[in-house]
Homo-oligomer: A and B are copies of this chain.
Amino acid sequence: MNEPLLEDFEELNNELVSVFNNVMWIEEAALKQSYFSDITLKDMHTIDAISMYSEKSASQVAKIIHLTPSAMTTAIDRLVDKGYIERRRSNTDRRVVRLGLTHKGRVVYRAHQGFHRDLTHNLLDNMQPSEAETVKRAIHNLVSYLANVIKQ
């Protein structure tokens, strides 16, 4: 590994750690205080993976959020009971369960997207367009690196 690019590499590193450690529980806490206090952040990620228009199967969603099939089933049960998502057996292959958001599900989904947009806006606060491009490149670096780690 070559020389650090920043004198205060450690400071950046610590801030990054703090972001990772805090974002999760802030989302969790925000959910608890909201109108949607009956779901956890993990539930939220399930809803997010199902998303708006896709009609994904249960196993596709399980793969996205890294749950075993059995855990996926109970997670779906929970969210169906609470009225956030719907189960529909596929007509073309009656083994598969297609998942979709209910009206209530679409409302939380959009609220959660709003939270993430706020994060992104704040990330770019006070940046010139060219600087914003640099930030984008940095985040893209991270995505590529993580994708690489996953593959191995």
Tell me whether A95 is interfacial, beta carbon within 8 Å: no
Considering only CB atoms and an 8 Å cut-off, how many residues of chain A contact the other chain? 56
- Assembled-state Cα–Cα distance A124/B12 (Å): 10
Do residues B136 and A134 form an inter-chain contact, with CB atoms below 8 A?
Answer: no
Do residues A5 and B132 form an inter-chain contact, with CB atoms below 8 A?
Answer: yes
Do residues B1 and A139 form an inter-chain contact, with CB atoms below 8 A?
Answer: no
| Most chain B Cβ neighbours within 10 Å, of A9, A25, A138 | A138
- Assembled-state Cα–Cα distance A84/B11 (Å): 26
**Which residues of A98-152 have CB atoms within 8 Å of chain B's CB atoms?**
116-127, 129, 131-146, 149-150
Tell me whether A71 is interfacial, beta carbon within 8 Å: no
Do residues A6 and B129 form an inter-chain contact, with CB atoms below 8 A?
Answer: yes
Do residues A146 and B16 form an inter-chain contact, with CB atoms below 8 A?
Answer: no
Residues of A within 8 A of B (CB): 1, 5-6, 8-9, 11-13, 15-26, 30, 45, 48, 65-66, 116-127, 129, 131-146, 149-150
